[in-house]
């Protein structure tokens, strides 16, 4: 499973009969920090989410499993809605996920500087 954010929808008036009454959404894969992580793609919504929501999705053959026993043609399916992402617990030596790529770069630079001071 991967994390993504719903960024849009797809309207297709002509499509395979197996996709009738299925919602197609554009999702942007994201890192645990919320920063974009890869190219956007179209996924079938199996749970009923909307724009701006963070979701879990699967790709490949497993994408069709979300709709069993129905046979659905799918390369990507949304299988969960994300309420929050916790990366470790602050205070136990773990770090929270950076909120942006810029913050992540700053955190890496800070750690490199701290290691240099220890030498």
Contacts of 47 (CB under 8 A, 6+ apart): 55, 78, 79, 80, 81
What pLDDT sits at residue 52?
Answer: 93
What pLDDT sits at residue 53?
Answer: 94
What pLDDT sits at residue 65?
Answer: 79
What pLDDT sits at residue 2?
Answer: 92
Q: Which residue matches tokens 């894969």?
A: 29
Rounded to two decimals, what is the model's pTM?
A: 0.69
Q: Which residue matches tokens 């979701």?
A: 55
Quickly name the fold that domain 2-85+97-118 has.
OB fold (Dihydrolipoamide Acetyltransferase, E2P) (2.40.50)
pLDDT, one tens digit for every residue, the chain (119 residues)? 899 999 999 999 888 888 888 899 999 999 988 899 999 999 999 899 999 999 999 998 888 777 778 778 788 999 999 988 887 655 555 555 555 566 666 766 776 666 566 65
Domain ranges of the chain: 2-85+97-118
What pLDDT sits at residue 107?
Answer: 66
What pLDDT sits at residue 81?
Answer: 94
Q: Decide if 63 contacts 74 (C-beta within 8 A).
A: yes
């Amino acid at each position: 499973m991967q994390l993504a954010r719903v960024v849009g929808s797809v309207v297709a008036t002509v499509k395979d009969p197996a996709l009738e009454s299925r919602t197609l959404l554009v999702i942007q894969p994201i890192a645990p920090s919320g920063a974009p992580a890869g190219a956007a793609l179209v996924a079938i919504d199996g749970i009923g989410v909307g724009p701006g929501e963070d979701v879990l999705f699967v790709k490949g053959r497993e994408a069709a499993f979300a709709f069993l026993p129905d046979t659905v043609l799918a390369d990507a399916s949304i299988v969960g809605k994300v309420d929050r992402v916790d990366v470790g617990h602050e205070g136990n030596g773990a770090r929270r996920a950076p909120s942006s790529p810029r913050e992540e770069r700053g955190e890496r630079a800070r750690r490199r500087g701290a290691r240099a001071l220890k030498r």
